[in-house]
């Protein structure tokens, strides 16, 4: 049974919609931990559209479970990560114009840069995960580059329109999870998971952690964050 890591970016999205100081993602982290989340995730984007540097610093002080910083493999972000010291980072591709992370990292083609980033971050005792599509080439490259974990991109499974397509994408996630474990990598999964599609993914034995954000924060508007997280935990368990 995987652990639930809650991404709280969209608490900050709501705050930024008005440029106020509320709702504060730091409060969300406390509530998420009390509701049973095993960790807190934030993506500090280059354009700071939701999570700000101040949030990350305060979350480092407050989070007692595990803090996972999603970030692009840039010098700026490596500087921040090695100063703030999250428990782990997840390297993701990042484009300014995208609404959300669109695809997995092309680990194989970013070899030189990623090797440097992994080395610098791991020297500080921070674990490294790579967000990848469920493809053999990407998983093997993540291992070669010294990653501790992979996060399998579940977006295509979640977005599939037909049953046939969904089944194909599901099989790819299962295969990728097994391959990750065979290579002695930690295996996480996420993107696009919600209350109606999470169960099958949660049943994959090889998956250690699920990273879920938007659907939980969206439900929290109606039922509160505590309940939204407990509902998700119940489905996963
Ligand atoms: N994993 C990664 C790497 C992401 O970039 C995101 C979105 O920030 C998530 C998981 C969570 O996705 P969602 O918000 O769709 O649950």
pLDDT score for 93:
93
Closest atom of ligand 1 to 158 CA is 15
* CB distance 140 to ligand 1 below 6 Å: no
pLDDT score for 97:
67
Mean pLDDT confidence for 89-101: 81
Among residues 43, 94, 169, 209, which one is catalytic? Answer: 43
Mean pLDDT confidence for 130-151: 97
pLDDT of 125 higher than 90? yes
Closest atom of ligand 1 to 70 CA is 3
* Mutation pick for ligand 1 pocket among 211, 218, 232, 235 (CB with most ligand atoms within 8 Å): 211
For the chain, domains (ranges, CATH) are 3-236 (3.20.20.70)
The model's confidence at residue 95, banded by pLDDT at 50, 70 and 90, is: confident
Mean pLDDT confidence for 131-148: 97
pTM (global) more than 0.95: yes
* CB distance 25 to ligand 1 below 6 Å: no
Question: For the segment 184-213, what is each residue's pLDDT rounded down to a tens digit?
Answer: 999 999 999 999 999 999 999 999 999 999
CA of 93 to the centre of ligand 1 (A): 12
Percent of the chain with pLDDT over 70: 99
pLDDT of 96 higher than 70? no
Active site residue 94: no
The model's confidence at residue 103, banded by pLDDT at 50, 70 and 90, is: confident
Question: For the segment 27-82, what is each residue's pLDDT rounded down to a tens digit?
Answer: 999 999 999 999 999 999 999 999 999 999 999 999 999 999 999 999 999 999 99
Short-list 7, 117, 120, 21, CA closest to 69: 7
End-to-end CA distance of the chain: 6
């Amino acid at each position: 049974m995987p652990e639930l890591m809650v991404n709280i970016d969209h608490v900050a999205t709501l705050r930024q919609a008005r440029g106020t100081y509320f709702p504060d993602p730091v409060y969300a982290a406390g509530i998420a931990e009390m509701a049973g989340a095993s960790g807190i995730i934030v993506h500090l984007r280059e354009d700071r559209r939701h999570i700000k540097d101040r949030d990350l610093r305060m979350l480092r002080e407050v989070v007692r479970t595990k803090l996972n910083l999603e970030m692009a493999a840039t010098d700026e972000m490596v500087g921040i990560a090695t100063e703030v010291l999250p428990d782990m980072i997840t390297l993701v591709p990042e484009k300014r114009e995208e609404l959300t992370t669109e695809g997995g990292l092309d680990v194989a083609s970013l070899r030189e840069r990623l090797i440097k980033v992994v080395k610098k971050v791991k020297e500080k005792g921070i674990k490294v995960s790579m967000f990848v599509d469920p493809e053999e080439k990407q998983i093997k490259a993540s291992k070669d580059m010294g990653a501790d974990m992979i996060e399998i991109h579940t977006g295509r499974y979640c977005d599939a329109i037909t049953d046939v397509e969904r089944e194909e994408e599901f099989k790819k996630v299962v295969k990728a999870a097994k391959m990750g474990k065979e290579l002695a990598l930690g295996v996480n999964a996420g993107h696009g998971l919600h209350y109606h599609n999470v169960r099958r993914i949660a049943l994959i034995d090889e998956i250690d952690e699920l990273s879920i954000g938007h659907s939980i924060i969206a439900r929290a508007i109606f039922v509160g964050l505590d309940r939204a997280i407990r509902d998700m935990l119940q489905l996963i368990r």
